[in-house]
Structure 1
Amino acid sequence: MNKISINDFKVTSNIELKERLTTYDLDASKKKIEKELEEVREKLGELQDTIYAHGKYAVLICIQGMDTAGKDSLIREVFKDFNSRGVVVHSFKVPTDLERAHDYLWRHYIALPARGKFAVFNRTHYENVLVTRVHPEYILGENLPDVHSVSDINDAFWKKRFEQINNFEKTIAQNGTIIFKFFLHLSKDEQKNRLLRRLRLKEKNWKFSPGDLKERKLWDDYQACYEDAINKTSKSHAPWYIIPADDKPTARLLTAKIMYDTLKEYKDIKEPELDEEVKLRIDEFKDQLNNE
C-alpha cells in the first residue's frame, strides 16, 4: 500500500478544485484498505482515551461535501472504535426558529466539544457561506438588521462572514480545540452513479429527494463556493483537507490516517500520573481488595 502523506491533502495555499483529484490510488485491494482502516481507527480509539484522561484539548471534526459524498458512512466507519461517551455527532439541518433567533454561529458554538472530548459536525458552520451563497434568499430568514433584500447580500457581506468564521475558529483553537476540516471531493459522474443507486435499490429509496436533482443542476455554483470558502478559511490552526471521495473505503482511511498522524504529534497529550501519595499506597490498596 502506498504511504499516506498529510501534505498531499492539506490546503496550505490557494487551490482550484477542478485540479484536485476525486480518486486516489493506494495501490491496495479494498480488503487491504478496510483492514488498514480497522488498525488506524483502533489506534484513534486508544488515543481518544488518552485525550479524555489528559483533559486539556477538545477535538472538532468538520465534514463537508456535496450530496452523496459519503459523509454519514464515513462517520460511522471512522469512529466505530470510539468510546461513545467521548464523541458526539451533530448533523446540522435547516435552522429552527430558535436557532434563527440567534446569530448563525450560535448553534455551532453550543455544540462544541468539551475538553477531553470529540465532536463531529456533519455539515457545519460552512453551510452559512455555501448553501446560503448559492441561495442568498435564505439569508433573509436570519432577519439581520442591515439586510433588507437580496441586493444587500453583496461581496462585502461574504467578506465579513468569512472574517467571522475565521475569528470563531481562531478563538476556539487558541483555547484548546484541535480543528480538522474535511471536504469530501466527489466527481459529478460519481454523484450521478450514487443517486441512480438510491433510485435502483429499494432499501436506499428513502435517501433520495427530488431536491437532490435541483441542487445537482447548481453543481458549478457549489464548486465555486466551496473553492472560495476553502481558500479563504484554510489556516494553520484550522486547515482544510481535500479528500478524494469517489471511493468510499479510500476516503475513510485517508480521513482517519490524517487525524491519527496529526494528533499523535501532540507530545504533551499523555495520561495524568497518579498522585504521589496514592502511588506509594498502591500495594496497600491491592491488599485491601485481595483480603475482602
Structure 2
Amino acid sequence: MDIEKYRVPVKSEIKLKSYPTSEDKKKDNDDIRDNVIPGLVSELKELHLKLHAEEKKGILVVLQALDAAGKDETISYIFSNLNAQGLKTTSFKKPSDEESKHDYMWRLHDGLPARGEIGILNRSYYEEVIVTRVHNLIKDFHVPDDKKKEEIWDVRYRQINNYEQYLHENGFHVVKFFFNMSKDEQRERLLERMKDPKKNWEFSFNDVKEREYWNEYQQTFEHMLNQTSTSHSPWYILPADDEWHARRLVSEIMISVLQEISPEFPEITGEDKETLKEYIKKLEDEKNEEVPE
C-alpha cells in the first residue's frame, strides 16, 4: 500500500475535496478484517513491544474527525491489541472550568506518552483551532497583546507546529490521522446509532446539531491540514467511509513510523549477563533439589 499518497505535503495548499472519502473498499470489509488486519496488528504489536522494552522513544498519535468517523473503532480494533502497559488513551472533550483557566495546550500534558509508550489522543489540542474557530469561541484574553483577533489562528498554528517539533526533537514522534468522512456516510452511521438500542449510548444530540456547520468544519479542516502538516509531524487523510480500509491504513502507517524508529529489545551485557547466567543456573538447580517430606 502506498501510504505516502495519504500524507499531506509540507507547506501545501491541498483541497480536502481532492481526497476521497471512499476508495470503494467497503466491499472488501470482510477480507480486510479477517485476512489483512490480523497480520498487520501482529507486526505492530511486536514493534510496539520493542518500543516499550527499549524505553528510548515515544509516539503521540492524534485522531481527529467529526463524530462517527471511526476514531473510537480504530482504538478498539487496532490499538487495543497492543501491550496495555505501553499504551495510554486520552479523550478530549469540552474544557473543564479548571482547564479553561490555563493556556489551551495545558490539558495536553496528561495525555503525553512516556518513553516506550504510544499515547493516543481521541480528539486533541487541535480542537482549539477547529471547534473554537467554527463556533467563534475566542475571547479577547486569548489573543496575544500584539495581535489582532483575526490573527489568532495563524498564531496557534505556529505554536502547535513549534510544540510538535519540540516533542520530536526530544524523542517523541507525532503522527496525526484525519478521518475524511462524507456527509452521507455520517448520516447513515448516526441513524444506525439512533435506531439501534444497543448503540444509543454512542449517540449525542449534539452530533446532529453540529451537522449544521458541515461546510464550516470542512473549510476549517482544510486550513488546519495545510498549516500544520510538517516533515516531523505529518497529517494523513484517511478515506473514512471505508471503515476497515481506514483501519488498515492506520496500521500500516504506524508500522512505518515504528520501523523508522527501529526499536530493539535491550541486550544484557557485562556483569549483568554473568549474573543472569548465575540466576538461570540457580533456578534450574532447584529441579534437582530434594523436596523435604
Do both share a fold (TM > 0.5)?
Answer: yes
Q: Measure, in 2, the Cα distance between the counterparts of 1:22 and 1:119.
A: 26
After superposing the two structures, state which structure 1 stretch, 85-94 or 210-219, moved more: 210-219
For residues 25-69 of structure 1, give each alpha carbon's deviation from its aligned partner in whole angstroms, at most 9, with x where no partner exists. Answer: 459732320131111112111111111121111110000011110
In the superposition, the TM-score normalised over structure 1's length comes to 0.91
Q: Displacement, 1:88?
A: 0.6
Q: Displacement, 1:122?
A: 0.2
Match of residue 273 from structure 1: 267
Q: Displacement, 1:282?
A: 4.2
Match of residue 69 from structure 1: 69
Q: Measure, in 1, the Cα distance between the counterparts of 2:255 and 2:54.
A: 17
Matches within 5 A, 1:238-249: 238-249=233-244
After superposing the two structures, state which structure 1 stretch, 52-61 or 234-243, moved more: 52-61
Q: Displacement, 1:283?
A: 3.8
Match of residue 149 from structure 2: 153
Detail structure 1 runs of 4+ shifted over 4 Å in the superposition. Answer: 25-28
Larger radius of gyration: 2
1:10 alignment partner, one of 7, 11, 16: 7
Q: Measure, in 2, the Cα distance between the counterparts of 1:175 and 1:282.
A: 33
Partner of 2:72: helix, strand, or coil?
A: helix
Contact 1:52 1:86 in 2 (8 A): yes
Q: Measure, in 2, the Cα distance between the counterparts of 1:287 and 1:248.
A: 52
Q: 1:11 is aligned with what amino acid? A: V
Partner of 1:11: helix, strand, or coil?
A: coil
Q: Measure, in 2, the Cα distance between the counterparts of 1:14 and 1:157.
A: 20
Match of residue 285 from structure 2: 291
1:168 matched to 2:166: no
1:116 matched to 2:122: no
Q: Displacement, 1:278?
A: 2.7
Q: Measure, in 1, the Cα distance between the counterparts of 2:265 and 2:27.
A: 35
Match of residue 45 from structure 1: 45
Q: Measure, in 2, the Cα distance between the counterparts of 1:184 and 1:21.
A: 11
Q: Measure, in 2, the Cα distance between the counterparts of 1:83 and 1:216.
A: 36
Contact 1:41 1:80 in 2 (8 A): no
Matches within 5 A, 1:54-133: 54-133=54-133
Q: 2:270 is aligned with what amino acid? A: E
Q: Measure, in 1, the Cα distance between the counterparts of 2:71 and 2:88.
A: 15
Matches within 5 A, 1:132-281: 132-136=132-136, 138-140=137-139, 143-144=141-142, 153-154=149-150, 156-267=151-262, 269-281=263-275
Match of residue 29 from structure 2: 30
Contact 2:143 2:149 in 1 (8 A): no
For residues 254-273 of structure 1, give each alpha carbon's deviation from its aligned partner in whole angstroms, at most 9, with x where no partner exists. Answer: 11111102211334x21221
Q: Measure, in 1, the Cα distance between the counterparts of 2:75 and 2:176.
A: 13
Partner of 1:7: helix, strand, or coil?
A: helix
Q: 1:14 is aligned with what amino acid? A: E
Q: Displacement, 1:114?
A: 0.7
For residues 94-129 of structure 1, give each alpha carbon's deviation from its aligned partner in whole angstroms, at most 9, with x where no partner exists. Answer: 111111111000111332111111100000111000
Please list every run of 5 or more consecutive structure 1 residues that lacks an aligned counterpart in the other structure: none
Partner of 1:180: helix, strand, or coil?
A: strand
Identical residues among aligned pairs (%): 40
Partner of 2:222: helix, strand, or coil?
A: helix
Q: 1:170 is aligned with what amino acid? A: Q
The count of aligned residue pairs is 281
Q: 2:142 is aligned with what amino acid? A: L
Q: 1:225 is aligned with what amino acid? A: T
Please list every run of 5 or more consecutive structure 2 residues that lacks an aligned counterpart in the other structure: 287-293
Q: Measure, in 2, the Cα distance between the counterparts of 1:14 and 1:256.
A: 27
C-alpha spacing 1:146/1:9, structure 2 compared with 1 (3 Å): closer
Contact 1:87 1:117 in 2 (8 A): yes
Q: Measure, in 2, the Cα distance between the counterparts of 1:185 and 1:110.
A: 27
Q: Measure, in 1, the Cα distance between the counterparts of 2:31 and 2:180.
A: 22
Partner of 2:138: helix, strand, or coil?
A: helix
Partner of 1:102: helix, strand, or coil?
A: coil
